[in-house]
Amino acid sequence: MNGVIQELEEYVRVIVGADLNGHIGSENKAIGRVHGSHGIGERNPEGESVVNFALSFGMVIVNTFFKKKREHLITYSSQGRCSQIGYFLYKRIKPVEFTNCKVIPGDYVAPQHRLLCMELGLKRERKAKAKGIRKIKWYKLAREGDKIKEFKRRVLEDIDMGIEDV
């Protein structure tokens, strides 16, 4: 996956959503730009590799930026053991683009994995309108007979080739 993300342009939005089998915990020791400190438990070596991956590619771990009830953070539950191992990683272009992230309690993707959802507030960028360029409104020629005569007169004046009105 490293090679795929490295080949992408810098302005491309990248979202990685997966069960990464790592516990990133609730501490964000000097990595506040990646980890929002709202996780569960303690970080393990697999979780450390998730955090390092996010750091190296300028991504954030979206789940950790929203304070939620415990049941809205748990992505894996089996035999009374609960953990947070499913994450959304988002390549930060504009930090305000992600607006919410939570687990839907009761909805299961697989027997032990809960559904994790992320909301994005993307705004479509509009192209700037070209200024100073007048548009020709051809549809008016078809509807109004006087406009056709005016058009012919002006074109013939501009050409000035001695052609008479037809």
Which tokens belong to 140? 């008016």
3-state DSSP helix/strand/coil percent for the chain, to nearest 5? 30, 25, 45
Domains of the chain: 2-120 (3.60.10.10), 133-166 (no CATH)
pLDDT digits (tens, 9 = 90+) for 104-140: 877 777 778 888 888 888 777 777 666 777 777 777 7
Report the phi/psi class of residue 128: left, alpha or beta, with left for phi > 0 and alpha for psi in -120 to 50.
Answer: beta
pLDDT digits (tens, 9 = 90+) for 49-106: 888 888 888 888 888 888 888 887 788 878 878 887 888 888 866 666 788 888 887 7
Residues 147, 140: Cα–Cα separation, whole Å = 7
| Higher-confidence position of 143 and 86 | 86
